[in-house]
Amino acid sequence: MLSERALIDQIARRAQGTAPDLIQGIGDDCAVIAGPGNTVWLLSTDTLVAGVHFDLAWHPPRLLGHKAVAVNLSDVAAMGGAPRFLLLSLGLPATLSSVVTEEILHGLQESCRDSSCLLVGGDTVQSPVLTLSLTVIGQHTKTEVVYRHGARTGDLIWVSGWLGSAAAGLELCRQGLAAHADFSPLVTAHLAPTPRCRLGRELSRRGLAHAMQDISDGIATDLAHICTAGHIGARLEGDLLPCHPLLPPAAERLGLAPLDLMLRGGEDYELLWTAAPTETAAILALAEEMALPCRQIGTMVELPGVQLVQRDLQGTPTSVREIAYQGYDHFPANSL
């Protein structure tokens, strides 16, 4: 079986074709289509499958509805746009209780209301496995769209929030530790992530991002997308990667390495972007305004790839290793 990246490359090759109003096809968080005047439409689709992306054994159905919307809104946030419309395709097992279905729909409705997004279409089908497939239509100003490409040598790399929280939260759920109140922020990061719509819009509006994408597959993969799209490289500073204060104790409890969770863990739905060093003060001011930590974690360099640098207490590099595309893959090669 093909890896997810090989498969997407194959789909992209087969999808070649142009249209005067198609600004961006496959290859970014959203497709971009010219809208009225200076506006553009942003289109993206994301699917959650039971047993792969969630488990109803621990995922409250209402929060699942929230998450299905969040993972789609996050793609619009990553281009700096505002979500407008959603289409839902719901695959329901015949055995699923209607209470669960209603709770999922309730969560969807709440998230739509909170994000001023309207559910405008849908399809319901029977399916042996509960599947929530959503398509989001966002809107933006043509000249303000932030793409994956666009990063420049010397740009600083920024990330919002914390890394690895959702992956740790998932593992806590899997190991039956979700009820452990001390770890609840991590569990919440997995069950009901918050898409960074406002941050994405402000970064875009204020011109504080050269390239941007959301963290869905882990920073080692998502940063590699920015590098590949911009024909450029990245140097991450291991000591600067931000984690929630509860990540180290949770990782210890789980028998996992915090750094692995931060680099490879998917589904944080934080924003990852690059910006000129001269914008640092403006970004930090925005972060304060939003009460959302935003941290500089590395630098864009000419050498392709994603290098992780670790240093000793004196700041001397002790190791430099290549980590591009080592994040979460829906189709790992070892699943052959």
**Footprint (CB under 8 A) of a second copy, residues 57-116:** 84-85, 87-92, 94-98, 101-102, 105-106, 108-109, 112-113
Contact 185, 194 (CB under 8 A): no
- What is the rounded distance in angstroms from the CA atom of residue 285 to the CA atom of residue 271? 17
Minimum CB distance to a second copy, residue 322 (Å):
25
Number of residues that bind a second copy (CB under 8 A): 73
Minimum CB distance to a second copy, residue 228 (Å):
17
Contact residue for a second copy among 55, 57, 114, 118 (CB under 8 A): 118
Of 134-153, which residues contact a second copy (CB under 8 A)? Answer: 135, 137
Instruction: Give a three-class secondary structure readout of 317-332.
Output: EEEEEECCCCCCCCCC
Minimum CB distance to a second copy, residue 313 (Å):
42
Question: Cβ closer to a second copy: 86 or 191?
Answer: 86
Q: What region, left, alpha or beta, does residue 48 occupy, with left being phi > 0 and alpha being psi -120 to 50 degrees? A: beta
- What is the rounded distance in angstroms from the CA atom of residue 288 to the CA atom of residue 310? 28
Question: Cβ closer to a second copy: 46 or 155?
Answer: 46
Residue type, 143: T
Is 279 a binding residue for a second copy by CB under 8 A? The answer is: no
Question: Cβ closer to a second copy: 121 or 176?
Answer: 121
Minimum CB distance to a second copy, residue 28 (Å):
9
Start-end of H helices in the chain:
4-14, 61-77, 98-114, 165-174, 184-191, 197-205, 219-230, 247-254, 258-264, 280-290
User: Given the DSSP bridges, would you call strands 31-34 and 22-24 parallel, antiparallel or unpaired?
Assistant: antiparallel
Contact 70, 269 (CB under 8 A): yes
Of 192-211, which residues contact a second copy (CB under 8 A)? Answer: none
Question: Cβ closer to a second copy: 37 or 315?
Answer: 37
Of 32-51, which residues contact a second copy (CB under 8 A)? Answer: 33-37, 41, 43-49, 51
Backbone angles phi, psi at 20, to 5 degrees: -60, -30
Minimum CB distance to a second copy, residue 137 (Å):
7
- What is the rounded distance in angstroms from the CA atom of residue 136 to the CA atom of residue 145? 16
Contact 185, 245 (CB under 8 A): no
Minimum CB distance to a second copy, residue 50 (Å):
8
Minimum CB distance to a second copy, residue 105 (Å):
5
Contact residue for a second copy among 58, 60, 74, 131 (CB under 8 A): 131
- Tokens encoding 81: 């746009």
Which segment (22-30, 158-166, 205-213, 267-275) binds a second copy by CB under 8 A?
22-30
Of 173-192, which residues contact a second copy (CB under 8 A)? Answer: none
Residue type, 80: G
